[in-house]
Amino acid sequence: MKVTPMEILFTLFDDTANILQEELACTYLEALAETGENLFHNNILQDDLSEVTKKRLRKKYAEISLPSFSDEDIRKAYQLAILKGMKGHAQPNHQMTPDTIGYIISYFTGKFLGARTDLSILDPAVGTGNLLSTIINRHVNAMNIRAFGVDVDDLLIKLAYVGANLQKQQTEFFHQDALEPLFIDPVDLVVSDLPIGYYPNDVQAAEYELNRTNGHAYAHHLLIEQSVNHTRPGGYLFFLIPNDLFESEEAPKLHNFLKKTVHIQGVLQLPLSLFKDTDAGKSILILQKKKTGVVPPREVLLATLPKLSNKESLDKLMIGMEKWFKENK
């Protein structure tokens, strides 16, 4: 059986990460970030390695030419290695947005934004960067993409940074709490798999309209507000949200904020088959920031996506969506 480019790259990432993990006595994910840095700089950057280990690494690195692989093959192989490192050790905030969801969101960002030669993107909860990288790679027509990623976790942000470098993406990363002031100009597009939970910093939460009167505010509500504030008028926001987002006691306040600041373009419920627990089902929320001359859609795009293997239902849904775009965009 022919070995795919992704498999070749994964083997390289995995073998060299294992070597570095043993030599540096670190975690697999930390070693993966180190070997990614070596590949990007075409050099072994770890000074404290033995000569035997350096020789083993040089031999492995010399087996392939990274520029000969596509950005998508690099992303997929790197993602697979990250998933291996997370298996059995992932913290709740160390969850990667699956490729399938990334592809679906990419399809809709393309439909709403159209063909652009210039595009700026922000992910305020970037994690390992897989969702952001997927969307960048899918917008092949945008010759000038400037991307920004924010995350409070130092290991995740390093993995995202290394992955972006390997794919030659113009992405700036900020290691900080995304709900503190961001030194990022408003962007054309925000995408985010929103982390769900309470925000413990009540002092910072008090700066937000969606702060809670009693108790900790919802972090995902505050991130929506922060994202709207960092979107250009007329720009779009795509959030992966829990299906029950608008059913909590804080939902009326969130609904009023959205009504005041954005046009809700669509709510697309993802197939429950994509999630291990049906109670953890999610939807894609599509917003457009208000701007003079921009009118809301005649009707919001509401749909429940079928299993992607159900071609007949999927074809029927796509026909309905194309009709919606003709009538509303």
Q: Which of 45, 64, 86 is the last residue of a domain?
A: 86
CATH of the domain at 256: 3.40.50.150
Are 34 and 165 part of one and the same domain?
A: no
> Mapped to the 3 state alphabet, what secondary structure does 22-61 carry?
HHHCCCHHHHHHHHHHHHHHCCCCCCCCCHHHHHHHHHHH
Cβ-contact 282, 240 below 8 angstroms = yes
Q: How many domains does the chain have?
A: 2
Q: What is the pLDDT of residue 92?
A: 53
Q: What is the pLDDT of residue 124?
A: 98
The reported pLDDT for the residue numbered 140 is 63
Domain span holding position 26 = 5-86
Contact 131, 97 (CB under 8 A): yes
pTM for this prediction: 0.93
Residue 97 to residue 74: CA distance in whole angstroms:
17
Count helices and strands in the chain by DSSP H and E runs: 11, 10
pLDDT of residue 239: 97
Residue 91 included in any domain: no
Query: How far is it, in rounded angstroms, from Cα 143 to Cα 318?
Result: 28
Look at the alpha carbons of 250, 255, 261, 267 in this order and tell me if their dihedral is positive or negative: positive
Q: What is the CATH number of the domain that holds 31?
A: 1.10.150.470
Adjacent-strand bridge partners of 262: 289
The set of residues, in sequence order, having a beta carbon less than 8 Å from that of 14 and lying 6+ positions away, is: 81, 84
Does residue 55 share a domain with residue 16? yes
Looking up tokens 């070997």 gives: 35
Per-residue burial over 78-88, b if 16 or more Cβ lie within 10 Å, else e, is bbbbbebbbee
Q: Quick one: pLDDT at residue 310?
A: 83
- 92 inside domain: no
Q: Among candidates 268, 266, 261, which has minimal Cα distance to 294?
A: 261
Distance CA 88, CA 108 (A): 33
Q: Is residue 204 part of a domain?
A: yes
User: What phi, psi does 22 have (nearest 5°)?
Assistant: -70, -45
Asked whether residue 156 falls in the same domain as residue 287, the answer is yes
CA angle at 190 for the pair 215 and 86, rounded to the nearest 5°: 75
pLDDT, tens digit only, all 329 positions of the chain? 788 999 999 999 999 999 999 999 999 999 999 999 999 999 999 999 999 999 999 999 999 999 899 999 999 999 999 999 998 555 555 567 888 889 999 989 989 988 778 899 999 999 999 999 999 998 766 668 999 999 999 999 999 999 999 999 999 999 999 999 999 999 999 999 999 999 999 999 999 999 998 899 999 999 999 999 999 999 999 999 999 999 989 999 999 999 999 999 999 999 888 887 777 789 999 999 999 999 999 999 999 988 878 888 888 888 888 899 988 87
Residues 28 and 131 in one domain: no
**Residues 165, 187 within the same domain:** yes
